[in-house]
Structure 1
Amino acid sequence: MPRSLQARMAVLLAAGLIVFSLAAAFAVFHVLRGEIDRMSDSALQETAQRLVPLAVMDIVDVERQPGDEQRIAAVRAHHELLTYIVRDQAGNMILQSHDANPAIFPPGLTSGFRSTPTHRIYAETVLQGTVTLLIAEPLVSRQRAGLVAAFAVLRPLLLLVPLGLLGTWLMVRSGLRPIRRFCEGIGGRGRDDLSPLSKAGLPAEIEPVADSVNELMNRLGRALTAERSFTANSAHELRTPIAAALAQTQRLIAEAQGSQLEERARTVETSLRTLARLSEKLMQLARAEGAHILADVPQDLRPVLRIVVEDIRRADQSNRIFLTLPEQEVDSRIDPDAFAILVRNLIENAIRHGESEVVRVVLSADGRLSVANRGPVVPVDTLARLTEPFERGATAATGSGLGLAIVNAIAQAAGARLHLNSPASGCPDGFEAVVEGLTPARI
């Protein structure tokens, strides 16, 4: 049986239709055979009764010697469907039709019907049992009539069964249309769309499934909200004590200059800065996995990209970021803050892990963003897992392993796609991150 419910129901209904049609045809054929036999017997009896007076007139008052018999001459040569003979009370044949074969008539047959392997015979006795007329019909003629009747029954079925199969398929397809719409509604949901599914038009048997799915999505939504809220709140609450600890550590460094305590204090400062960056990344990840990535109105991405690049240039105190922007606007529904987080993570990642002073940032008119650097080629198996949280490649640079995970989460929530390439396009080495599909046509 096919795995598709629609195909399975269609096959079962089609098989039932075929079996029912064949059973109906067999029943009709059986009735027709009975009617053919009844009408043929009636015709055979009627013919015999009409022939009896004629046969009697031919043999009455005719002087015959024992063994004499009379054969009715044919007006023209033809094949007789019905043949007959006339016998006297001693069983001697005294008259026969021109094409009759006496061997097919059994002896001692009195009034009534009898069937032989080849013929159906009717006997009619008159003149107080002194004369018997026997008339025979070949069974093959009845069989031929039965086959004609069978073909007459089957001929409409040859047309009706295909039409019935097509009608069955269309009815099953129409009946399952609400279920298909329900499945398409599930498949067409966005990454973070956990709103209840509509049950409009669903069959009563499928409504419990819809209720269970809605309840499951409700529980999943509550779990995801709690998880994101915990991550964001934890990271937010950590910022103040981390900042306070960092300030105290910097004061301790200033007071301990020239002593052994200064080196230990600077180690603590480095750890606190790492912890601060990690808490910031966790807040960005919670934001990226939230449901507020798309804005209501499309906005130009170029000003946001310029601001982020200039901010990173000032913080890095270098001019090694080469930005290429199109002349026309690049409108997108992605939230500007979310886009800024995405771009900042890509550029910082390229600066941190690149081995040259060049980081190229290119935004095309079709909403394609590319950030590339120069450095060792990253293996393919490593590329496949770099978008997972806390995954890092073979690098000595510091980092939390969350940057590309944040970018991938924002891109997916915005309906875009993140591709990682190594070597970079047009280069023998390097690393390139490409985000495609940021324009309104894609989002």
Structure 2
Amino acid sequence: MTGPYSLQRRLSLLLTLLVLALWGIATLAGAVIVRHELDEVFDSALQELAQRLLPLAVETLYRDDPTDGPRHIAALAGHEEYLTYLVRDADGHILIRSHDADPSAFPGRPTPGFRSFRDVRLYTEAGVSGTVFVEVAEPLGHRREAAWEASLGLLAPILLLAPLSLLAVWGGVRRGLVPVTLLRRQIERRGDADLTPIAGLRLPSEIAPVAGAVNRLMARLDRALAAERSFAANSAHELRTPLAGALAQTQRLIAEAPEGPLRDRAVAVAASLNRLSHLSEKLLQLARAESGLFPPGPPTDLAPLVPMILDDLIRAAEGRLLIDPAAPLIATIDPDAFALLLRNLVENALKHSPRGTRVIVRVLAEAVHIRNQGPVVDFDRLRARFARGTTRASGSGLGLAIVDALAAATGAAVAFRSPAPGAVDGVEVVLTPPA
């Protein structure tokens, strides 16, 4: 499967090739036109020269004494002669010739008008009742050279402007795609829980339907997520009261039942109800975590909150949980979200550390470090919902899912290290709230 391509690069390349092709066609057409115009100019020069030479040649022939051979017109100075001429009679005998004229380049008999002979362009003018002919010749190579130089003159500016046109096209396409870039950036800046409509952008008619479709998709997704969160939260909340009542009745039954199978069954029912109550509480926390309703607040020192958040866990751990507030922890995270994050991480550490070992919570200047002993843990697998490690400790398998959801909603960072730094086993979790 091929990767994504750049629309800007593709449009720029296509437009540049199109411009160069049009310029090439224009240059070719210009060269053809220039060649045609040059032929007309050179033909006019041949005709003009022949008509001017004819009366002079006639006057020279009748004024001077006749000779046995052709008269040779000497040049005033040596030069390359592009236009050569012959003065001949009707039988083709040469009467007068220019100094550089080659008789073999002329046809045997003169014929009035324009004609091409071998690689020469000729014009013949007749006089004295068709008895004297002036033939002027020009090499066609001279014309081709002039046409080629003129074409190069047309092509040179194009070669100079081609890089500039490429830059201009690239800049124009990039400027034209600014609305697409703004739309992409606005979508990228949104958090996972931000499903508000895209607004405030002046989009062209080609892009506006895309933004509208994205807004409608986000609205449908928001309604679906809201329904899911509402169901989980309502279910967990509605289960609290009947679970509490059932648990109270079960505990009363345990107190009143005599020793034996009945009390054992009552104890098992109470344990199941406790697990169900814990699961409903975790589902409620997960619904709150995924709601994204944790806006950042002003910078607050979270270090004094840590003992308060973990107070009941400290009492239940019976000396296994130690807190070391080494430094103030200033952050902008919502205190309620921080409490949910910290409690879930510490609960996991207490559940999965061996009996007789301690869980140490250290509050440093930028993060909270939670360290416990135990076997090496593969956290990539345990981050899935309802996934649990090889442990006998009770739990719902939602702790790390809640942590991930809260971290994504608040911008906090949670790093898991196993084995713990400086040890061969154990776990250290680093909770870094947003500053």
How does the TM-score come out when normalised to structure 2?
A: 0.95
Corresponding position of 2:414: 418
Moved more, 97-106 or 56-65: 56-65
Offset at 1:17?
0.7
Structure 1, residues 119-153: CA drift from partner, whole Å, max 9, x if none?
11111111111110111111111111111111111
Q: Distance in 2 between matches of 1:339 and 1:44?
A: 99
- The aligned runs of 1:353-368 (5 Å cut-off) are 353-355=352-354, 357-366=357-366, 368=367
| AA aligned opposite 2:91 | A
SS of the aligned residue for 1:205 comes to coil
Aligned residues: percent identity?
A: 48
SS of the aligned residue for 1:407 comes to helix
Q: Distance in 1 between matches of 2:295 and 2:364?
A: 20
Confirm whether residue 392 of structure 1 aligns to residue 393 of structure 2: no
Corresponding position of 2:28: 26
Q: Distance in 1 between matches of 2:373 and 2:260?
A: 41
Confirm whether residue 135 of structure 1 aligns to residue 130 of structure 2: no
Q: Distance in 1 between matches of 2:418 and 2:336?
A: 28
Corresponding position of 1:40: 42
- The aligned runs of 1:334-373 (5 Å cut-off) are 334-355=333-354, 357-366=357-366, 368-373=367-372
Gaps of 5+ in 1: none
SS of the aligned residue for 1:385 comes to helix
Corresponding position of 1:11: 13
Corresponding position of 1:321: 321
Structure 1, residues 329-357: CA drift from partner, whole Å, max 9, x if none?
42222211111111011011001001251
Moved more, 56-65 or 100-109: 56-65
Corresponding position of 1:241: 242
The one of 421, 425, 430 equivalent to 1:434 is 430
Moved more, 39-48 or 50-59: 50-59
Q: Distance in 2 between matches of 1:189 and 1:304?
A: 30
Offset at 1:255?
1.4
Q: Distance in 1 between matches of 2:129 and 2:296?
A: 113
Confirm whether residue 405 of structure 1 aligns to residue 406 of structure 2: no
| AA aligned opposite 1:59 | L
Instruction: Confirm or deny: 8 A CA contact 2:243 2:273 kept in the other structure.
Output: yes
Q: Distance in 2 between matches of 1:295 and 1:74?
A: 100
| AA aligned opposite 2:169 | T
Q: Distance in 2 between matches of 1:396 and 1:179?
A: 54
Q: Distance in 1 between matches of 2:361 and 2:142?
A: 94
Structure 1, residues 79-127: CA drift from partner, whole Å, max 9, x if none?
2111111111111111111111111111233211111341111111111
SS of the aligned residue for 1:99 comes to coil
Moved more, 154-163 or 264-273: 154-163
Offset at 1:291?
2.0
Q: Distance in 1 between matches of 2:324 and 2:290?
A: 29
Structure 1, residues 41-99: CA drift from partner, whole Å, max 9, x if none?
11111111122222223322545466x22211222222211111111111111111111
Q: Distance in 1 between matches of 2:38 and 2:360?
A: 94
Corresponding position of 1:229: 230
Gaps of 5+ in 2: none
Q: Distance in 2 between matches of 1:142 and 1:100?
A: 18
Corresponding position of 2:300: 299
Offset at 1:305?
1.3
How does the TM-score come out when normalised to structure 1?
A: 0.93
Q: Distance in 2 between matches of 1:347 and 1:296?
A: 24
Q: 1:77 to 1:217 in 2, by over 3 A?
A: same
Instruction: Confirm or deny: 8 A CA contact 2:410 2:434 kept in the other structure.
Output: no
- The aligned runs of 1:255-334 (5 Å cut-off) are 255-318=256-319, 320-327=320-327, 329-334=328-333
Instruction: Confirm or deny: 8 A CA contact 1:199 1:210 kept in the other structure.
Output: no
Q: Number of matched residues?
A: 432
| AA aligned opposite 2:141 | V
- The aligned runs of 1:16-165 (5 Å cut-off) are 16-64=18-66, 68-165=69-166
SS of the aligned residue for 1:114 comes to strand
| AA aligned opposite 1:45 | Q
Q: Distance in 2 between matches of 1:34 and 1:369?
A: 87
CA RMSD in angstroms comes to 1.7
SS of the aligned residue for 2:381 comes to coil
Q: Distance in 1 between matches of 2:163 and 2:389?
A: 62
Q: Distance in 1 between matches of 2:148 and 2:324?
A: 86
Q: Distance in 2 between matches of 1:154 and 1:41?
A: 25
Q: Distance in 2 between matches of 1:117 and 1:220?
A: 84
